[in-house]
Amino acid sequence: MKISFETKITAGYISNIVVVFVLGLIYWKQLPVSESLKVLDWVSLALLLLSLGMLTVVFFILKTQLKANKSYAQELEKNQKLLQAITANASTPISVKKLNGEYLLANTSYRRIFQFGEEDITGKTYHDLLPKELADTLRASDLETLKSNHEIYVEETLEQVDGMHTYLSVKFPLFDASNRVYAIGSISTDITERKKTEHSLKAADTFFTLSLDSLAIAYKTRFIKVNPSLCTLLGYTSAELLEKPFVSFIFPEDIALTEKKLKTLEKGSTLVNFKNRWVCKNGAVKWLSWNATMDHTTGEIYAIARDITKKLRVQESKERERNLLFENQQKLNMIIENISDGVLVANREKHVILANDNANALFGIEDDAQISVDFTPHFEVLFPDGETVFPVQNLPAERALAGEITDDIDVVLRDLSNGEMRRVLLSGRPILTAKHQVAAIVITIKDISRYKELEKELEEKDLTSRRMIGFKNLNKD
Q: What is the DSSP string of 339-373?
A: -SSEEEEEETT-BEEEE-HHHHHHHT-S-GGG-BT
Query: DSSP readout, 388-410?
Result: SBPPGGGSHHHHHHTT--EEEEE
- The pLDDT of residue 278: 96
Number of neighbouring beta carbons within 10 Å of residue 30: 8
Instruction: Give 421's strand partners.
Output: 414
User: Is 318 among the domain residues?
Assistant: no
User: Is 145 among the domain residues?
Assistant: yes
User: Is 403 among the domain residues?
Assistant: yes
1 has a pLDDT exceeding 70: no
Mean pLDDT of the 195-222 span: 82
Q: What is the dihedral of CA 196, 202, 207, 209, to 10 degrees?
A: 170
Work out the percent of the chain whose per-residue pLDDT is above 90. 32
- The pLDDT of residue 461: 65
Using a 10 angstrom Cβ sphere, with 0-12 exposed, 13-18 middle and 19 or more buried, the burial of residue 15 is exposed
One domain, residues 353 and 444: yes
33 has a pLDDT exceeding 60: no
User: Is 462 among the domain residues?
Assistant: no
Q: What is the pTM of this model?
A: 0.44
CA nearest 396: which of 427, 370, 357? 427
- The pLDDT of residue 71: 77
Integer-rounded Cα Rg, in Å, for the chain is 59
> What distance in Å separates the CA atoms of residue 440 and residue 161, rounded to the nearest whole number?
77
277 has a pLDDT exceeding 90: yes
Mean pLDDT of the 245-261 span: 94
**SS3 of residue 192 by DSSP:** helix
Secondary-structure breakdown of the chain: helix, strand, coil percentages, each rounded to the nearest 5: 45, 25, 25
One domain, residues 373 and 408: yes
- The pLDDT of residue 110: 85
35 has a pLDDT exceeding 60: no
Domain end among 58, 84, 110? 84
| Count: domains in the chain | 4
- The pLDDT of residue 336: 63
User: Is 28 among the domain residues?
Assistant: yes
User: Is 151 among the domain residues?
Assistant: yes
- The pLDDT of residue 323: 79
User: Is 62 among the domain residues?
Assistant: yes
> What distance in Å separates the CA atoms of residue 227 and residue 366, rounded to the nearest whole number?
63
- The pLDDT of residue 68: 79
One domain, residues 29 and 51: yes
- The pLDDT of residue 402: 92
Domain end among 165, 195, 225? 195
One domain, residues 280 and 380: no
Least confident span in 26-35, 41-50, 182-191, 199-208 = 26-35
> What DSSP designation does 24 have?
H
- The pLDDT of residue 476: 47
- The pLDDT of residue 232: 92
Phi first, then psi: give them for residue 64, nearest 5 degrees.
Answer: -65, -45
Mean pLDDT of the chain: 83
One domain, residues 362 and 381: yes
255 has a pLDDT exceeding 60: yes
> What distance in Å separates the CA atoms of residue 391 and residue 389, rounded to the nearest whole number?
6
- What CATH number is attached to the domain comprising 155? 3.30.450.20
One domain, residues 239 and 292: yes
pLDDT digits (tens, 9 = 90+) for 72-90: 777 767 766 776 667 766 7
> What distance in Å separates the CA atoms of residue 211 and residue 102, rounded to the nearest whole number?
53
User: Is 204 among the domain residues?
Assistant: no
One domain, residues 428 and 374: yes
One domain, residues 109 and 66: no
Domain end among 84, 103, 125? 84
One domain, residues 67 and 120: no
- The pLDDT of residue 337: 62
For residue 198, name the pLDDT band (cuts at 50, 70, 90): confident
One domain, residues 186 and 274: no
Mean pLDDT of the 214-241 span: 92
477 has a pLDDT exceeding 50: no
pLDDT digits (tens, 9 = 90+) for 378-417: 999 999 988 899 998 999 999 999 999 999 999 999 999 8
One domain, residues 76 and 96: no
One domain, residues 173 and 241: no
222 has a pLDDT exceeding 90: yes
Q: Which domain holds residue 129?
A: 90-195
CA 466, distance to chain mean position in Å, is 101
Number of neighbouring beta carbons within 10 Å of residue 67: 11
Mean pLDDT of the 284-289 span: 95
Work out the percent of the chain whose per-residue pLDDT is above 70. 86
